[in-house]
Amino acid sequence: MVAFNRGLASNPTALFGGSKASGLARDSLETKYIAVSLHRADELHTEKTQWRSSPREMNNGRVGGNMGAVKNVIVLGGGIGGLTAAHALRRIGVSVRVIEMGDRSDRIGTGITLLGNALRALAELELVEACLQGGHGWDVVSIRDAAGNPLLQQFSPRIWDPDRPAALGIMRPRLGQILEEAARTSGAEIAFNTTVTRIDQDAEGVTVQLSHGETDRADLLIAADGVYSKTRQQIFGEEFKPHYAGQGVWRYTVSRTEAMDGFILYRHPTGRVVGALPLSKELCYLFFLETTDEKLRVAQDQVCHYVRNLLAPFTAPELIQAADLVGEGNHISYRPFDVLMMPAPWHRGRVVLLGDSAHSLTPQMTSGGGMAIEDALVLAQELRRSRDLETALAGYCVRREERVKRIYDIGYAICNEERNPMHSREYQIGLLREGYAFLSAPV
């Protein structure tokens, strides 16, 4: 999720089929748009197999035949990271129980974009086909003016498979359903409406007290309980807590017209930007970034009016239609960006953090979910590779911390730049290019 704000862009060399910049209405805009490439072929890693551990290392694991560091695991949190971890661990023969405080029906929200690195990890776990079927693959990033006239069109690189889409948009509830089905089918047990009220660990295992009174014990507790993780707070201390990054975003789902193919940014000369991301054949989601020193508070009964005002300057037919639909039963949400980057180690004894509980990124790089998916795959690989738990968890942290931190830093730098009235679009584009190139590298 990136807002290209005001400013003149320099022209990094056009790549990936070049840029298609329309001359339409360009001179009438305050902002001048010119061909900008987000990718340089020589910066990208596009070999098909890019895991430091070979894919066979994962696939050789037999359910029930685990020889690694753990035999059973409790996963706290059934979000993107927790469910992917449950599935990945079952594939290497580890018994898994997922504890999720919410209900399955709580899965609401709009969509999520998974970039090529996330698709690559999902392919490794044999989940990518289901995700592609449940969502909408896309290749093109375009910038349009407020009236919908194309200004720039750019192909994203297909880093995981040259014959498949570069990225995927999917409704969050659909992704949750796919990951839950995969985890269950591979043999994980999932308890909804349940949480953990106490955690005790000793040399042999970790014991958790569950909210309905039962206790459970395992070799390892994976805390995939999100950015506001209580486990992180309890095990690592109060000092590791998220902070507000000075931006937030409005999002809601609308019908997708044919005009809304790929990732589109509609720019108004005032600098305001509306983004659209396809989620399925019929749906896409719209987002608007808000820069505010304090977290925005809009009374519930004012939300529709507020969002319609945000859309009012945009005259592209699909956005007029979207504005008409505000409040027509679609769920409009505002999310402030609360961010956190835990320094390694992400484990203490037999408790390890995964996904947003360890790192919550600003969404500029559309990568938080992808990082959680990669975490899950790498943790399973390390737990299988080593018979010693400490070695396996240390290996996980080594492989994950630097990679996630780089994407966290780049996303945060873009966010800060967007907040700066004198921001440089050229600098932003450079950061994005650096981020995408880095994401394509082996994990």
Give the footprint of ligand FAD on this chain (CB under 6 A): 1, 76-82, 99-102, 112-114, 195-196, 224-226, 230, 249, 335, 355-356, 363, 366-370, 372
Q: In angstroms, what is the minimal distance from the CB of 43 to ligand FAD?
A: 21
For residue 181, what are its two tokens?
A: 């089905």
For residue 116, what are its two tokens?
A: 């090529």
Q: In angstroms, what is the minimal distance from the CB of 355 to ligand FAD?
A: 2
**With respect to ligand FAD, which residue has the nearer C-beta, 66 or 428?**
428
**With respect to ligand FAD, which residue has the nearer C-beta, 331 or 387?**
331
Q: Helix 368-385 crosses helix 80-91 at what angle (to 10 degrees)? A: 30
Distant-in-sequence, close-in-space partners of 27: CB < 8 Å, separation ≥ 6: none
**With respect to ligand FAD, which residue has the nearer C-beta, 62 or 212?**
212
Residue nearest to ligand FAD (CB): 79
Element (H, E) at 150: strand 150-155
- Distance (Å, rounded) from C-alpha 391 to C-alpha 69? 9
Q: In angstroms, what is the minimal distance from the CB of 359 to ligand FAD?
A: 8
**With respect to ligand FAD, which residue has the nearer C-beta, 9 or 131?**
131
Residue 340 dihedral angles phi and psi, to the nearest 5°: -165, 140
**With respect to ligand FAD, which residue has the nearer C-beta, 15 or 165?**
165
Q: In angstroms, what is the minimal distance from the CB of 95 to ligand FAD?
A: 19
**With respect to ligand FAD, which residue has the nearer C-beta, 146 or 223?**
223
Q: In angstroms, what is the minimal distance from the CB of 28 to ligand FAD?
A: 32
SS (H, E, C) 354-404: CHHHCEECCHHHCCHHHHHHHHHHHHHHHHHHCCCHHHHHHHHHHHHHHHH
Q: In angstroms, what is the minimal distance from the CB of 278 to ligand FAD?
A: 12
* Chain CA centroid to CA 101, Å: 21
Collapsing DSSP to helix, strand or coil, 408 comes out as helix
- Say if CB 242 and CB 360 are below 8 A apart: yes
Amino acid at 153: Q
For residue 89, what are its two tokens?
A: 């661990």
